[in-house]
Structure 1
């Protein structure tokens, strides 16, 4: 906040940082609420997002709304906060009220479209996005947002055509190009998609290493013999597990491969065929080329092995696996690993909202308690694991003992099937060649494509898809049927 902010607003910021909600409200009433660009509560939204203070700010906003129920900015803020917190129906209602008073307020329309999309109301979201586009037909970002919505609903050819139009108008827009790449990958146009995906380097949060030394595309003329190739972790664990499949192919070409930044994956990665060294933290190791995990498929896209080596390319530690085996030796049931939630990442709004769509409460899996001949083992980490204590579904929880991914791999090695929402456990189990039932959301990640139950990345994986956003009942019913069948076959 600028240093010339009026004293009440400065005090408001201080009070909010100190979690003094009533003081915030009192101070907010003293501030100038007639200036839309300087509305005090709206100015606190970025801090609330970055520090997971959304509920605090919503409390203050609702108190202010009680005093000023016609204030459009408060309605919009309340709608945005409720959307981020997962109260989609109420968020949509608040935003409808705001737009009834300011029908053409573009920021509110944009938030409204986002809330409708988050709630799975895609047709209505499209109407709103078309209204935004009509306001300024020359703005390619509006066209890009419509393209995203078509991709979300599986209308990929329409999406790609719209992205191309938007890119023609603004070819150097990194986020637009990145979104286009994701639509290409989702549609199965992998070679072009991976090339476009390199536009992410123009955005914050990706590699800071020099682009001049980025690993080039693999060709017959590229000599990697004796070259040190530094592979870096760029995003989540799932991405790293997925792309470790390319390491053996680099080693076959004579590269000396160093992995950097693998933390809890370090021991697992060290056993992948072709890895020379794994370094966690410290100074950047010497290298001739560097390559983030996510750029490896781009490098191999035009080769005879665009999907890398087939699973299994990750193996559990045999000693650790044997220890787990001794503990479960008396369990002759079908052993099923369960994951029902991802990492919420509340300080990152987009990731937080995505996690709400991909995750479910453990209670959604209660119908699995009807199964006989099945033992459930938790593979769940994080705060969602606390739901086990009150779940009617009997679950054995060894995860508090699993400190690293290497430990978790030893547990997976002793299971028959892994059932999971879209998390890194899907990738780890798939990379180990374990049978996986993926419980997938509406508007899925590009990796799982559309209209198919299998995956080109993991032959052992089967995709069970939602048909309605936020409704897991059909997926869980299908999981129950498949586990019942697997249990019968195990005991034949």
Structure 2
């Protein structure tokens, strides 16, 4: 609602208003999506700035006249920066903790009471007052803003009051075993289960911990991870089912329950649980384009002779994964026509692949003709029965258009060509587990002189790839030149193998049918399921899982062994190919001799 509030302020202001949004960590492919979202809601009077260094960031702030503190989650650091730069502003207080902090900072700074809004309407009125009344704004700025105000905010008063109050609360508590138990972390509570020597003992100790702490999600999650180490899948199933029964409205137990059910291979059951869990999510949480209201969402109705549009949802990898359903909806469900609405970087590639009857970029969703139904891709398996062991044949379902041409890979003729992606987007919720600590983890692979390696890394990790390219003669950084998803697809098509962590490149390579070795964290995304080293979704993908006990080094050792075997098989194949012409020639000489011996020569020859 903050964006909508800004749009209202711009409409009602008596003077033209230009908003400057300084978005942290917005770069690469993420930035255009953020920029387009802000512009679509707020309007054209917006400048959205990429993530930048602090000097440039403060320069932009200093050129503004006032600041609007975002809600409902506030912006504590932003208040410090904007007030230091000499700006007065507006905040909104409310139920969120950060809103209370903002309110407290405004009061400590001495800002007028009317700048602390309690409702959205008050917020709009306060902003308009600062915008329209220049003399009042400048007077407040001169009196209350600037470095001296921050000195007062941070360095005046008695911060030890907090410590004194906390000590008092502590002394009020009795140091009993029950109190120590309640204060214990999830790891401390589960320490006995962590030390179990057998699966049965681990299960018993986890169940004991859950009986003592039935409402602690950290205990339930930790217990599930321990049970997974022992491959006690049924016990994990029971754990999450009971967690949901105890707290039916809590988000986390429902989330982990449906993820577990899907990862276990019970697709339709899991996706139906997912559908129930996310049904109240606002559309902006799932997509950048508002779904249509002129025709209904598909909820399993017969599709024979009908037109349906698969709506854009979540990340690029998600959309690549679910593109397969365009064909499935036609062939399995009888749809007459399937349109795919996708993020802009994927449009050209999706259109060239021919899986959908039409492909439209999400930013052009207003141009879509009316269909009979629309559907979020994650909702399709909730209504379309699928068996994990008998998925429809679909790979490859991405194809590089012929007119795009081959990607001009550098390197040596005849070398095994291997693509590398070692890190995902840092703001991904599981990036700490899915990404490698650094590119140097793969150095044992890079020592093979018979192989040329090509970094497809974008964003985070690109600098490491550049350093490796400068240091190693068989390592090339092509991520810097692959500007579009189509460029990346062209490059992947020219490779012999792709080694990647769980990013959109894994889905791109898998959908192209390219041999791919995928490095996975111990607890991986639902798409890769449990305890298997192949993917039913991508037949050319081989899975290398991080052990529950151990580190990435063990995974790299296994990778290296497979790479050595691939190199050896390649050399054996070449040797056989070189030997084949010699054997053919030898057979040719032997076969010709008897025929010459059987010739009858005329007696007239000399």
Normalising by structure 1, report the TM-score: 0.71
Larger deviation: 234-243 or 378-387? 234-243
* Distance in structure 1 (CA, Å) of the matches to 2:153 and 2:207: 38
1:230 match: secondary structure? strand
- Residues 320-363 of structure 1 show CA distances to partners (whole Å, capped at 9, x for unaligned) of 342x1x54585211100001001111xxxxx34x2111111001
Question: CA RMSD of the aligned region, Å?
Answer: 4.3
Structure 1 partner of 2:39: none
Q: 1:378 aligns with which of 455, 466, 478?
A: 455
Matching residue within 334, 337, 340 for 1:256? 337
Aligned: 1:300 with 2:384: yes
Distance 2:152 2:245 in 1: 51
Match in the other structure for 1:337: 419
Distance in 1 separating the partners of 2:399 and 2:110: 54
Give the C-alpha shift of residue 142 in structure 1: 6.8
CA distance in 2, matches of 1:123, 1:31: 41
Displacement of 1:487 in angstroms is 2.2
Aligned to 1:201: 279
Q: Is the 8 A contact 1:448 1:455 kept in 2?
A: yes
Aligned to 1:365: 442
Partner residue of 1:62?
A: none
Q: Shift of the alpha carbon at 1:22? A: 8.7
Partner of 2:583: none
Tell me, yes or no, if the aligned pair for 1:335 and 1:415 is still in contact at 8 Å.
yes
**More displaced 10-residue stretch of structure 1: 468-477 or 414-423:** 468-477
Partner-residue secondary structure (3-state), 2:524: coil
Give how far 1:259 is off.
Answer: 2.2
Q: Is residue 458 of structure 1 aligned with residue 538 of structure 2? A: yes
Distance in 2 of aligned mates of 1:32 and 1:276: 67
| Alignment partner, residue 582 of structure 2 | none
Counterpart secondary structure, 1:400 = coil
Q: 1:129 to 1:162 in 2, by over 3 A?
A: closer
Report the CA distance between 1:180 and its aligned residue: 1.1
> What is the aligned counterpart of 2:326 among 222, 226, 247?
247
Alignment partner of 1:487: what SS?
A: helix
Residues 1:231 and 1:363: Cα distance change in structure 2 (over 3 Å): same
Superposed CA offset, 1:59-115 (max 9, x none): xxxxxxxxxxx8999xxxxxxxxxxxxxxxxxxxxxxxxxx9x73556x736x679x
State the structure with bigger RCO (CA 8 A, min sep 6), 1 or 2: 1
Q: Which residue of 2 aligns with 1:449?
A: 529
In 1, Cα distance between equivalents of 2:421 and 2:555: 14
- How far apart are the structure 2 equivalents of 1:179 and 1:229? 30
Distance 2:188 2:279 in 1: 28
* Residues 124-178 of structure 1: per-residue CA shift (max 9 Å, x gap): 99999879855654x3857753664357544321111122223334445554333
For 1:214, the equivalent position in structure 2 comes to: 297
> Residue in 2 aligned with 1:437?
517
- In structure 1, the residue matched to 2:372 is 288
Q: 2:261 aligns with which of 168, 171, 184?
A: 184
Given that 1:442 and 1:466 are in contact with CA atoms closer than 8 Å, whether structure 2 keeps it comes out as yes
| 1:191–1:151 CA distance, 2 compared to 1 (3 A) | farther
Shift in CA distance, 126/380, structure 1 to aligned 2, threshold 3 Å: farther
CA–CA distance in structure 2, aligned partners of residues 147 and 272 of structure 1: 44
- The change in CA–CA distance for 1:5 and 1:327 in structure 2 (over 3 A counts) is closer
* 2:559 maps to 1:479: yes
Kept in 1: contact 2:261–2:269 (CA 8 A)? yes
- Tell me if the contact between 1:412 and 1:429 (Cα under 8 Å) persists in the aligned partners: yes
- Could you tell me which of 267, 273, 292 is aligned with 2:348? 267
1:314 is aligned to 398
TM-score, normalised via structure 2 length: 0.59
Contact 1:152 1:444 in 2 (8 A): no
SS in 1 for 2:461: helix
2:162 matches 1:33 = yes
The equivalences for 1:14-163 within 5 A come to: 26=155, 29-30=158-159, 32-33=161-162, 103-104=180-181, 109=185, 133=210, 137=214, 139=215, 145=221, 148-149=224-225, 153=229, 154-163=231-240
Number of the residue aligned with 1:411:
491
> What SS does structure 2 have at the residue aligned with 1:371?
coil
Q: Which residue of 2 aligns with 1:356?
A: 432
Classify 1:363/1:10 alpha carbon distance in 2 versus 1 (closer, same or farther; 3 Å): farther
Determine helix, strand or coil for the equivalent of 1:439: strand
Q: Is the 8 A contact 2:442 2:556 kept in 1?
A: yes
Separation of aligned partners in 1, 2:365 and 2:526: 34
Quote the Cα distance in structure 2 between the aligned partners of 1:304 and 1:480: 30
**Paired residue total:** 414
DSSP-derived class of the 1:213 partner: coil
Classify 1:5/1:122 alpha carbon distance in 2 versus 1 (closer, same or farther; 3 Å). farther
Decide which moves more: 358-367 or 310-319: 310-319
Q: Distance in 2 between matches of 1:485 and 1:462?
A: 14
Find the counterpart in structure 1 of residue 311 from structure 2: 232
User: Is the aligned partner of 1:398 residue 2:478?
Assistant: yes
Query: Deviations for 1:415-446, whole angstroms, at most 9, x for unmatched residues?
Result: 00000111111111111111011112212222
Preserved contact between residue 466 and residue 477 of structure 2 (Cα < 8 Å): no
SS of the residue 2:530 aligns to:
coil
SS at 2:558 equivalent: helix
Structure 1: gaps (5+ residues):
40-69, 74-99, 346-350
Task: Give the Cα separation in 2 of the matches to 1:195 and 1:355.
Answer: 27
